[in-house]
Copies of this chain bind each other. A is one copy, B any other.
Amino acid sequence: MNKIKNIGVLTSGGDSPGMNAAIRAVVRAGIYHEVEVTGFIRGYEGLINNDFVNMDRKSVANIIQRGGTILKTARSEAFNTVEGRKKAYDNLKANHVDALVVIGGDGTFRGASVFSKEYDFPIIGLPGTIDNDLEGTDFTIGYDSALNTVVDAVDKIRDTAESHDRLFVVEVMGRDSGLIALRSGIGVGAEAIMIPEANMDVDDILHKLDHSRQDKSSKIIVIAEGDEAGGAFAVAEVLQKKYPQYDTKVSVLGHIQRGGKPTCMDRVLASRFGVAAVEGLLNGERGAMVGQINREIVFTPFDHATKHIDAEKVSSTWLKLIDILSF
């Protein structure tokens, strides 16, 4: 194995708060260890289109606190084709880039896995997604920030719900994973939550509401966008019929959950991951995602990291907690 002299870095898939902190850490760690760093624009598209910038220390100054990603991000159809990956590889070679750090979620890592095997190319992944749905790390970059954005928004909704004796159905992100709904639901003091992992239907919610305090002046149901029950509006319709005494409203939080300044936790996590990714590559790690389990840095092979976690077990503890707290 030759010494790595130039590391490429890119962000791919949906953006998440803390991606900039991760880019900064990769660049600073690279320079610290006397490696050049090349930033590719719009994820794998940048590899294919040879769209890149040379990163120096100043290029990542004053970005640790910024939402989004200065390298931009995209989902790349072309990278799923043999031809696209061939172009990407040729461009990496031409630019003397001999390793990659890819920041993103499971889609990003599946692409990285194929590419790294196809061309025997060293790649380390950084978990950058608000969904926290990856094996191999307790937390992904952006999850904590998204949770706080949800909590801030629902605190505002609680103000108006309390004033008007309203029942609110709040839809949060999480197409395949209810983790955002679960944690934020506890954080906002929700009366009930609906998540894909729990196989709940509206009757379960009705049952819970029937058994919660009837003297509450407001009720908040947090629902993951991917829940099977058919979306916040459908749930709200059923609830409105059942509880005519409440004025039922829907709030879909949407894309505000992806943006905003990262929290301290996400900045620290991203900083630590970025340094670990570079040092991992230099120590021969490849084809793996860097993560943090029980506060220690661990590397998990891409194929294992992208297996969706079994939330069933996790969620039952938390769902019980919500039952107790909203009692």
A residues near B, CB below 8 A?
11, 15, 17, 19, 24-25, 28-29, 31-32, 42, 57-58, 61-62, 64-69, 72-74, 138, 144, 147-151, 153, 155-160, 162-165, 168, 183-184, 186-189, 213, 215-217, 249-252, 254-256, 258-261, 263-265, 267-268, 271-272, 275, 294-295, 321, 323-327
Q: A251-B255, A255-B168, A259-B156 are in contact. Are A57 and B327 (CB under 8 A)?
A: yes
On whether the beta carbons of B15 and A159 are closer than 8 Å, the reply is yes
On whether the beta carbons of B160 and A321 are closer than 8 Å, the reply is no
Q: A149-B156, A156-B260, A258-B159 are in contact. Are A189 and B64 (CB under 8 A)?
A: yes
Q: Considering only CB atoms, which chain B residue lies closest to A61 in the complex?
A: B216
Contacts of A148 in B (CB 8 A): 148, 263-264
Q: Compute how far the CA of A73 lies from the CA of B165 in the bound complex, rounded to whole angstroms.
A: 9
On whether the beta carbons of B155 and A259 are closer than 8 Å, the reply is yes
Q: Compute how far the CA of A147 lies from the CA of B73 in the bound complex, rounded to whole angstroms.
A: 29
Q: A256-B153, A321-B271 are in contact. Are A264 and B162 (CB under 8 A)?
A: no
On whether the beta carbons of B324 and A164 are closer than 8 Å, the reply is no
A251 contact from B69, B144, B184, B254, Cβ within 8 A:
B254
On whether the beta carbons of A254 and B256 are closer than 8 Å, the reply is no
Contacts of A295 in B (CB 8 A): 138, 294
Residue in A17, A28, A215 whose Cβ sees the most chain B Cβ within 10 Å? A28
28 A-B pairs in the complex with CB atoms less than 8 angstroms apart = A28-B325, A28-B326, A31-B327, A57-B213, A61-B216, A62-B162, A65-B155, A66-B159, A68-B160, A68-B162, A68-B163, A72-B163, A72-B165, A73-B163, A74-B165, A138-B295, A144-B263, A144-B264, A147-B265, A149-B156, A155-B261, A157-B256, A157-B259, A160-B255, A160-B259, A168-B255, A250-B254, A252-B254
Q: Considering only CB atoms, which chain B residue lies closest to A317 in the complex?
A: B272
On whether the beta carbons of B259 and A158 are closer than 8 Å, the reply is yes
Q: Compute how far the CA of A210 lies from the CA of B72 in the bound complex, rounded to whole angstroms.
A: 23
Q: Compute how far the CA of A17 lies from the CA of B148 in the bound complex, rounded to whole angstroms.
A: 14
On whether the beta carbons of B159 and A67 are closer than 8 Å, the reply is yes
Contacts of A188 in B (CB 8 A): 64-65
The 3 closest A-B pairs by CB, nearest first: A156-B259, A67-B159, A159-B259
Q: Considering only CB atoms, which chain B residue lies closest to A29 in the complex?
A: B324
CB distance from A162 to the nearest CB of B (A): 5
Q: Considering only CB atoms, which chain B residue lies closest to A147 in the complex?
A: B264
